Amino acid sequence: MIQTSRRLQELPTQFFANLVRQVNQKIAEGKDVINLGQGNPDQPTPPGIIQTLQQAAEKPANHKYSQFRGNHFFKQAAADFYLEHYGVTLDPETEIAVMGGSKIGLVELPLALLNPEDSILLPDPGYPDYLSGVVLAQVQQEFLPLLPENGYLPDYSKLSQEVLEKAKLLFLNYPNNPTGAQATADFFDETVAFAKNHEIAVVHDFAYGALGTEQEAPISFLQSAGAKEVGVELYTLSKTYNMAGWRVAFAAGNAEIIEAINVIQDHLFVGLFPALQEAGAYALTNNENVEALVALYNRRRNVFVKAAAAIGWQAYPSTGAFYTWMPVPKGYTSVSFANFLLEEVAVAVAPGSGFGDGGEGYVRIGLLVEEARLEEAIKRIATLQLIF
């Protein structure tokens, strides 16, 4: 019998895959499921990006093996994007790394930067796949509690000296998944000072970088003075341009960390299909439909939050990403409440505990269905006469 490695056996259960299985089971039973548990953009990729890919795919030069570290034109487009939107200057060759989706960077960075005796600081609640890199790198983790009373920002002063001595890497994510909270410039400035003081590298997962409100766009970690001295930011095209299945992303910032990413990817991959890089460069340069997308998510957020408030269900006041963060009613855990909604009214939500112990007591709502379906979900939940 073939035995898999201990590392493979120790990997956490894929949270989202399990959620998808539960939803698909209900759909197979003939239920009209309103899926608010997903984090998958529901809008199509803008046409200009698609046309660019189609044309690029026809070029014979793009059919050869890709360059290991990405094409200069894509890295230049990424650097130009950061200069235009955030006022951050980046060297495209030494401060940009091309990745086949930002999840790759999040999982490979512990492998690239840490030794088994080191530890990583992870947000709680946070994106579940951060833990995959911990297991594969065989390092330790310490959780940073994110609390609603602190705007879901970590309080570094609560960390013990023992934890700080072992910590070599810090993951952050704003706008935040799952809470939708946003970071402030003061917090990022504090993070830079904290990282310098304790010699901790910072990785900011900027997956929802475009998704704030029309009045308040999210800020980049790299906008803080000294940020490039201590860390990198990972930017994916998945949410900004509805390119989730395209798997196009890049890391930006500290040249030593960028080189570490490039070295590990030299051994794991060849490179991103150049036609995808051409489409990605077009996306970053043209920013097609982004304003309309931001407005769409905020209309949906307002519709859901207003309808939920009418039945006494009060959302955490988030302004980022495409989620709302909702408390569970009395007498339920996040898992039992999510299961109850799916069984009784065919509404799927993501249990907060799937994002860590700090997510218990909440469920995550994805604003990735039409407004009428969001209102219908609340109507169904209202029939249960829950006490929130």
Look at residue 387 in the predicted model and tell me its pLDDT. Answer: 85
Q: Indicate the pairing of strand 140-145 with strand 119-124.
A: parallel
Chain segment 90-106, per-residue pLDDT in tens: 999 999 999 999 999 99
Look at residue 346 in the predicted model and tell me its pLDDT. Answer: 97
Chain segment 135-172, per-residue pLDDT in tens: 999 999 999 999 999 999 999 999 999 999 999 999 99
Please provide the average confidence, as pLDDT, over all residues in the chain.
Answer: 96
Look at residue 1 in the predicted model and tell me its pLDDT. Answer: 87
Residue 12 has pLDDT above 90, yes or no: no
Chain segment 250-294, per-residue pLDDT in tens: 999 999 999 999 999 999 998 999 999 999 999 999 999 999 999
Chain segment 56-70, per-residue pLDDT in tens: 999 999 999 889 999
Is residue 169 within 8 A of residue 109, CB to CB? The reply is yes
Look at residue 361 in the predicted model and tell me its pLDDT. Answer: 97
Mean pLDDT of 43-55: 98
Look at residue 14 in the predicted model and tell me its pLDDT. Answer: 74
Look at residue 332 in the predicted model and tell me its pLDDT. Answer: 97
Look at residue 45 in the predicted model and tell me its pLDDT. Answer: 98
Residue 13 has pLDDT above 90, yes or no: no
Q: What percent of the chain has pLDDT over 70?
A: 100
Q: What percent of the chain has pLDDT over 90?
A: 92
Question: Using 50, 70 and 90 to split pLDDT, how confident is the model at 18?
Answer: confident
pTM of the model: 0.96
Question: Using 50, 70 and 90 to split pLDDT, how confident is the model at 208?
Answer: very high
Mean pLDDT of 127-140: 94
Which structural domains are found in the chain, ordered by start? Answer: 6-45+290-382 (3.90.1150.10), 64-286 (3.40.640.10)
